[in-house]
Structure 1
Amino acid sequence: MNQRRILLALFMIYFVFAILLNSVGTVILQVIHTYGVVKGAASVLEGFKDLPIAIVSFFVASTLPRFGYKKAMLVALAIVAAATLAMPLIPAFATAKLLFLCVGVAFALVKVSVYSTIGLVARDRKHHAGITNMLEGFFMVGVLSAYWIFGFFIDAEHPASTSWLNVYWLLSVLCAATFALVLATTFDEVGAAPPDSRGPAADFLQMLRLFVRPLVYVFVLTAFLSVLVEQAIGSWLPTFNNEILMLPATMSVQVTSIFAGCLAVGRLLAGVVMRRLNWYPVLTACMLAMGATVLLTLPLTHGVNHDPNVTWSTAPVAAFLFPLIGLFMAPIYPGINSVMLSSLPRHQHAPMTGLLVIFSALGGTTGSLITGYVFGHVNGHFAFYLTLVPIVLMVVSLHAFKRQVEKTAGAAWTARPHELI
């Protein structure tokens, strides 16, 4: 296999979907202005995106090895290319709903296919971890790019203007270019095929049986807690900046981009580090550093006075220090995912990724709901201090995960020649 070309295709796919998935907040704002949709109605776009991801992953993940990862990626890109074209051609709130429904369905196909393809090209566990972290880091680059790409097309002086819809011409071209790249790339998917001739129903039951393995449920718990903390902080940091650090609304969002940037940098750096170092001490150190960041920086957020003329140079130092937690948080999710997948035979990577997507979604939703409830009923300081509980639980579950991984002793990997990247 041409590994460089395959990895370029995977990175481009993730970049495209990072932009589309991260655009939901911007689109909610724009449909309110452009189509006069009330906030409550506009908020359903989040559900149109998230629910299809979990549902499609659950029912389709186990059958993708038979269907083919390359075919699944092409189908996903074709779906979102058509949906992005519909946005400027048929401008309506219903079209925006359809767009995110398509994005959710397509991303479920893409996530399972991309993660499973990594297992086909990686030489060993460290190589797998390096690729996974680089991929997730590039995803965060796409998330950051989304703000600037959409911002370029929004007419700030005329909020009701439909000029922002022109961004979808660019995105449809990007989807088409990525489709062409994947189509022209050769994928060797022999290692993904199930070892016997079971049917789709049997493959689905086999996916469910994965969950009874101690290795899998310890991993699922660790992944659940990791996403819970990430979403708890990521979803409520703008509100924390606004209500606790007394920053203006616009600046509160802009400062939050530091957190996203730290996630991107952290994952890109981890992609290099984890090719050389053992995963367990690296991830344990990251978790301990997360807890230290919470304990050292949150005390700096107390007693902040409101300043109507606050600027970047006069903002509280905590506004810049606390988002650095993203640097330490960044390697954990892709790191444990890589270790889990590289502990299984390659034909089980797709169903395992399906379970991962489902519990990641549950973790993200749980983290956001709990933090929002505590934020509203107690205070923002306590809500963020509360993240220490899942961080401690992560350290414990990671140790249990390590013990289970050691029992597998890397049996999933077989000697096979690969080109060097």
Structure 2
Amino acid sequence: MKNVPDTSNATLIRWLTYLMFMMFAMTSDSVGEIIKEVKREFDVSNTEASLMHSLFMIGIAFSGLFLGFLADRFGRKKTIILGLALFALSCYLFLVGNSFEFILGLITLSGLAVGVFKTAALALIGDISRSTKEHTGTMNGAEAFFGVGAIIGPLIVAWMVREGVDWKLLYVLAGGLCTLLILMAWKADYPAHAPVNKNHKPVNFMSSLKLLKNPYAMGFSIGAFLYVAAESAIYVWMPSYLVCDAVSVSESFACYTTGPEKMLAMYAVSVFFSLRAVGRFVGIWMMQRYNWALVLMLFSLAITLCFIGGLIGGKDVALYLFPLTGVFMSVIYPTFNSKGICCFAKSEHGTVAGVILFFTAAGAAAGPFIMGIVSDAYGGDAKYGFIVATGFACVLFIGLLLNYIFNPTEAHLASVEKTEYGG
């Protein structure tokens, strides 16, 4: 069996990884709340304010594709500390930022930093896993803590706004947590890492580009793109779809006749994130016991049916079905990430994680943007954007159905299990 750290040390490293995911989710998934404050503070348009999301994702995408190799070449520990240091720097600089352009620069830098430490953290999961199933369970755990951060961050921003506290202090708080994680990572005993692959070929950004021709890397990457494009429809455009027509801002949810319906409409995104987080914790248990291809196929079908039902039934039905997708979306992305990475030798995990991360960020940036264009073309009605999102979900389901029927990765994953995890 390949060397893995002792159980206690592996547990410490696993928790460090979980906390890293939670820390950066506090800022990345608070962008909706932050954009509202940015528009007010800097008097910018919706398009300009949306750069807070787009540039962050572009930074992650660029970093994933062109810097993902760092974890394979220089080791996980050094790369994680480098990425965390850059992220902490970008967070602390919010203290001196006093222009919209400067803040956009910091957002881009933080995206680059996330791409660096996240690819190294994803590669590290392979180093501490004793099987591909354990790898998938740990990946679900990391994404579950990401989901927790996605709940905590917006709540902190909402509290800050209500109490008159500057929203930039959220980034300072994240920077403080990041500094603590740097110290913990520096002290932790990481597994030994060979900085070259088994063929002793140099690892550089060309290694990432070559993976674009690999069917396993591209298959899971395209799946990640489709999934994230559909998922981002919920937290970016669901609030616009659920608001009532022809009412003032203060009466945005007046068309819902009961108190619980109004509350659900107001907090639909939070409900979605909560269900997604809970689902990922359950996914840790589920993926150890059931056929991952079957679970993903059934869950993608459920997502598609929720989207179709929400469109046909209108706002009253979408109010329940759209947030419910969080349950079914919970295990899809971490499983894509895990199985895609597990198709390769551990010495290449950072590089392939970067490629998948590139397509993830591209889906998060392109999906909502395409939906916005289509909605604007039909008078600004978010319903037409969700038709696009339903298309993404349908294609995803078809792909996962074919994956379940033909199971093209079964033999390859079994081979990697023997060579990299000791069978």
Q: Same fold (TM over 0.5)?
A: yes
Equivalent pair of 2:140/2:331 in contact (CA under 8 Å): yes
Within 5 A, what are the aligned runs for 1:289-328? Answer: 289-301=302-314, 316=316, 318-328=318-328
For 1:13-58, what per-residue CA distance to the aligned partner results, in whole angstroms no more than 9, with x for missing partners? 1111111222333333333333445555443333431222111222
Residue among 410, 413, 418 paired with 2:417: 413
Residue among 163, 182, 188 paired with 1:185: 188
Q: Distance in 1 between matches of 2:346 and 2:89?
A: 32
CA apart distance, 1:150: 1.9
CA apart distance, 1:89: 4.1
Q: With the length of structure 1 as denominator, give the TM-score of the two structures.
A: 0.85
Change over 3 Å in CA distance of 1:183–1:235 after alignment to 2 = same
| Aligned amino acid, residue 155 of structure 2 | W
> SS of 1:164's equivalent?
coil
- Give 1:331's aligned residue: 331
Equivalent pair of 1:57/1:108 in contact (CA under 8 Å): yes
CA apart distance, 1:240: 0.4
Within 5 A, what are the aligned runs for 1:215-364? Answer: 215-243=216-244, 248=252, 252=265, 254-301=267-314, 316=316, 318-364=318-364
Q: Distance in 2 between matches of 1:31 and 1:382?
A: 27
Residue among 395, 415, 419 paired with 1:393: 395
- Give 2:106's aligned residue: 99
For 1:188-233, what per-residue CA distance to the aligned partner results, in whole angstroms no more than 9, with x for missing partners? 1426642244334xx4333322222333332222222111211223
CA apart distance, 1:373: 3.0
Q: Distance in 1 between matches of 2:394 and 2:313?
A: 22
For 1:224-278, what per-residue CA distance to the aligned partner results, in whole angstroms no more than 9, with x for missing partners? 2111211223321010011469872796552222112222122221121101212
Between the aligned residues of both structures, percent identity stands at 26
- Give 2:168's aligned residue: 165
Q: Distance in 1 between matches of 2:360 and 2:89?
A: 28
Residue among 65, 77, 91 paired with 2:72: 65
Q: Distance in 1 between matches of 2:215 and 2:170?
A: 46
Equivalent pair of 1:21/1:103 in contact (CA under 8 Å): no
Q: Distance in 2 between matches of 1:284 and 1:245?
A: 39
**Which 5+ residue runs of structure 2 have no aligned equivalent?**
254-261
For 1:40-94, what per-residue CA distance to the aligned partner results, in whole angstroms no more than 9, with x for missing partners? 5443333431222111222111232111211111112222222222222454434
Q: Distance in 2 between matches of 1:39 and 1:290?
A: 29
CA apart distance, 1:382: 4.6
Equivalent pair of 1:19/1:146 in contact (CA under 8 Å): yes
Q: Distance in 2 between matches of 1:218 and 1:212?
A: 10
Q: Distance in 2 between matches of 1:34 and 1:294?
A: 35
**More displaced stretch, 19-28 vs 97-106:** 19-28
CA apart distance, 1:361: 2.2
Change over 3 Å in CA distance of 1:380–1:335 after alignment to 2 = same
- Give 2:208's aligned residue: 207
Equivalent pair of 1:86/1:95 in contact (CA under 8 Å): no
> SS of 2:414's equivalent?
coil
Change over 3 Å in CA distance of 1:373–1:101 after alignment to 2 = closer
Aligned length: 399
Q: With the length of structure 2 as denominator, give the TM-score of the two structures.
A: 0.85
> SS of 1:199's equivalent?
coil
**Which 5+ residue runs of structure 1 have no aligned equivalent?**
303-315
**More displaced stretch, 45-54 vs 259-268:** 45-54
Q: Distance in 1 between matches of 2:109 and 2:390?
A: 36
Q: Is 1:53 matched with 2:54?
A: no
Q: Distance in 1 between matches of 2:343 and 2:67?
A: 22
- Give 2:408's aligned residue: 404
Residue among 1, 6, 19 paired with 2:26: 19
CA apart distance, 1:297: 4.2
Q: Distance in 1 between matches of 2:416 and 2:189?
A: 24
Q: Distance in 2 between matches of 1:244 and 1:366?
A: 27
